[in-house]
A and B are shown apart, each in its own frame.
Chain A
Amino acid sequence: MAANFAALRSKVELALAGRVVAPFNYRDRQEVVTVSSGIPEIDSLTGGLPRGALTEIFGPSCSGRTSLLLAALSARTAQEEACALIDGGDAFDPHSAEAAGVELRKLLWVRCRNVEQTLRATDLLLQGGGFGLVAVDLSDIAPRLVRHVPLDSWFRFRRAVEDTPTILMLLEQESNAKSCASLGLRLQAGAAGWSRMPVEGAADYSRLPGGWLLEGRSARGEVSRSRAQKGSAGYFRGGSAAEPRVASAGIFKTRIDWDFFSLPIAAKRK
């Protein structure tokens, strides 16, 4: 019996040689290394994004998933890390990304057309390795299609980034990775922030039919799964979508205080 077991063990080890180091050795769970998500409120809620693990961010539209993605990309590229975005719905906006502080030259953007392409591209990128953050954006894919992705795909992704410094971030509408995710974060949209335009010194604006300015909106984040901590909730203030309506092609001139408005849209429309 013992001889058979030893023979079987050596046979398995031989088959896995070069791919798995010591498959029968006990692997102690390593300490999770986390880095900033780029949003202080999320960091205090989750402890940061774990390296070498799958982070799942899900929620309805306008719940701040893209804002969180851009914040994370901005933080990682600021650290000179190469990042990759596998865009399942081809919805990424380079303008708002650059306005959010993402260094675009350090971002590999893969524009996919469907779930199959997205999963295949993720496999290829994770096999290549070396990226600080790999984000898989399935936000624009219908949930019924993402639900059909077999669980072993998420498990394979998790295993691919294990023991690497890569952060694998999955964005979707519903949670699908389940136990394969080390961190699950549910986002919910809050109220939009609007403000009246400043009237002083802006005579032209007073004649405009739409006298409101979009400042942004808030979003609510809730940890649904975490290796480090159990279900807690917190809030973070979503980004300001307001913008100074800078004269584009010389049509408008404004005296609005630029600092009052957020950078992203300002940059988009300057």
Chain B
Amino acid sequence: MAFAAIHVANFMVQAVLRAEGEVRDRAIALVDGTAPLINVVAANDAAWRAGIQLGMAQTQAQLCGVEIRRRSRALEKAAHAALLDLGWSMSPRVEDHAQDTILADLAGLNSLFGAEEDIAREFARRAAELRLRVHVAVSANLEVAVHAARGFAGITVIPEGEEARYLSGLPVQTLAPSAEALETLERWGIRTCAALGALPVLELSERLGQEGVRLQELARGAHVRALVLAEPAEILEEEMELDDAVEDLEPLAFVLGRLLDQVCTRLAARALSAAAIRVRFDLGDAFEKEEPVRGKNATATAAGVARVETEAATVAKTYEKVLNLPVPMRDSKMLLKLLRLQLQADPPPGAIVKITLGADPARPRTTQHGLFVPNSPDPERLELTVARLAKLVGNTNIGSPELTDTHRPGEFRMNRFFSQMNETKARGKAGKKLASGGDGEPAAGRRTATGCRIFRPRLAARVELREGRPAKIFFRGLYGRVVTASGPWKISGDWWRGDAWQQEEWDLEIQFDGGSAGVAEHMLANMQVIAPVREAKAHMHASLYCVYYDGACRSWFVRGMYD
């Protein structure tokens, strides 16, 4: 049994550099604290060489000619989550040892990745994809692996039984002793693990207590414990704080793209896809509103006028958007396009100072295409197309219609359109049809259903009745003579509700009168979607319409036309 320890050296700096890939090779110093006590807390090698020292004031650090960045706990959290994802990408048994170190059980990985050294290399390669530079150490002992990863750069494979020899040269600080113990050891001149391991146990215990014994076991590579398994996070999140508040969406696309890249890489590392993308924008102070608050604090003045104390009531300073995906996706470019379309349709109400982007993980979509299954739109491309169309015509004007469970005429709802057919069903149906040689051929002798075109909104009409039947009709500037009428077909419903309806429907064959053509043409000339009526009149043939008398508003309307 072997374990791999994966350690991110200079974690705070790497967490920041991970989000700003282009500054990786420049001298960077991280500062932290509250003004005026802002000091350097970390720096990269280039910055050390430039003269940066820990604890140096920010103003001093700026004189060294290095770039100054603020320490970001959000980025550190994201980097730590990425580190854990790296572990889970190869092993199901991972321990969250520290913010900069994880442990992975390598049992069973040899058949997948080869020898232990190859496994360690694979960890390093995958870490590079996640924009992390890591040290990997493999050992049969958990603690030895951790200390070797912290003490040795690159990849270290420690054979079983040689743990003490490998650790012998490491400084005792690697074992993370307490400050008191470290001070004592320094006074004794004990600086390496080899020196600590050579001390007699009894005397060490008398002077340093149980901690001394534990440190010596660690130095000898003899400390044994079990792996503490970590639970995978349910939502993968990445955050980024902006130096300046951003109001426009266009500049944000770059940041969103980077965050999506990172999230998708982490999803890929765990062989997952995103079922939904959640974006939360923290809005700047400009979005705070001051609202007058009346109530407990109102006191009566001598003049009897209530004094209103105004309190700064901070309204919600975050703006959230959820992008639900019809099928799990992992293509960051596609997700960015969808996210941008959704944000353009409903932009944040203020300037943005921080972005948190999360993904709901889901199992990737698996498809099995068949020779006899009809072609259907690719779900990912279709989602993008539908989003673009929704931007063009509006969200409510696109989808798949579904009839609602009501008798009210013209009622339906728009559902989201899915191209993902029930493949098993589709294959079965298509297979049966092919077997019988059919291709949607209509049955011989079957009559075609008549189509109906609906006028939206409904057209108001004036109807002249003769012996209880419509004889003449006037709508949209056209007079028509009713040739044949079928009706009335009385329908009503929802009488138990406030929006009860009652209608008398008629199917009418209407011959439009040429006498009113002049007036009608003038009225219709400037209208756009009046073609059916206008053109029906022009051809002077009888047209079939469905008209109805609305009992609620006591008026006639044209519902549609049979075509």
Contact = CB atoms under 8 A, between A and B. Distances in A.
Interface of A: 35-36, 38-40, 43, 60-71, 74-76, 78-82, 89-101, 104-114, 117, 120-121, 124-125, 127-132, 139-143, 145, 165, 173, 189, 192, 194, 208-210, 212-214, 216-217, 236-241, 245, 248-249, 251-252, 262-265, 268-270
Contacts of B400: 104-109
B187 interface: no
B113 interface: no
A101 B449 contact: yes
B347 interface: no
Contact of A209 (B374, B419, B425, B468): B468
11 contacts: A38-B440, A38-B448, A39-B442, A67-B450, A76-B440, A80-B430, A104-B401, A105-B418, A112-B397, A140-B453, A192-B509
Interface in B402-432: 402-403, 407, 409-410, 412, 414-415, 417-419, 421, 425-426, 429-430
B244 to A, nearest CB: 36
Given A143-B531, A173-B531, A241 B440 contact: no
A235 B378 CA distance: 39
B125 interface: no
Contacts of B539: 60-61, 189
A67 B452 CA distance: 8
Contacts of B490: 248, 251-252
A264 B381 CA distance: 34
B449 A96 contact: yes
A254 B412 CA distance: 26
B562 A124 contact: no
B165 interface: no
B437 to A, nearest CB: 12
A121 B449 contact: no
A71 B449 contact: yes
Contacts of A65: 451, 563
A62 B563 contact: yes
A105 B402 CA distance: 7
B439 A36 contact: yes
Of listed B378, B382, B527, residue having the most chain A CB within 10 A: B382
B3 interface: no
B403 A38 contact: no
A62 B403 contact: no
B351 interface: no
Given A109-B400, A128-B382, 18 more contacts: A38-B440, A39-B448, A60-B538, A62-B536, A80-B421, A91-B454, A94-B402, A94-B403, A95-B410, A96-B452, A112-B397, A121-B392, A121-B393, A142-B528, A189-B539, A192-B544, A212-B486, A237-B447
Interface in B93-141: none
B506 interface: yes
Nearest to A266: B449
A81 B528 contact: no
B489 interface: yes
Contacts of A208: 487-488
B429 to A, nearest CB: 6
A40 B444 contact: yes
Contacts of B412: 94-95
Nearest to A63: B563
B465 to A, nearest CB: 9
Contact of A216 (B381, B418, B450, B488): B450
Nearest to B490: A251
A64 B541 CA distance: 14
B397 A111 contact: yes
- Which 9 pairs of residues, A with B, have the shortest CB-CB distance? A66-B451, A130-B377, A239-B450, A128-B385, A248-B491, A100-B449, A75-B440, A66-B563, A264-B449
A93 B454 contact: yes
A256 B409 CA distance: 22
Contacts of B527: 142
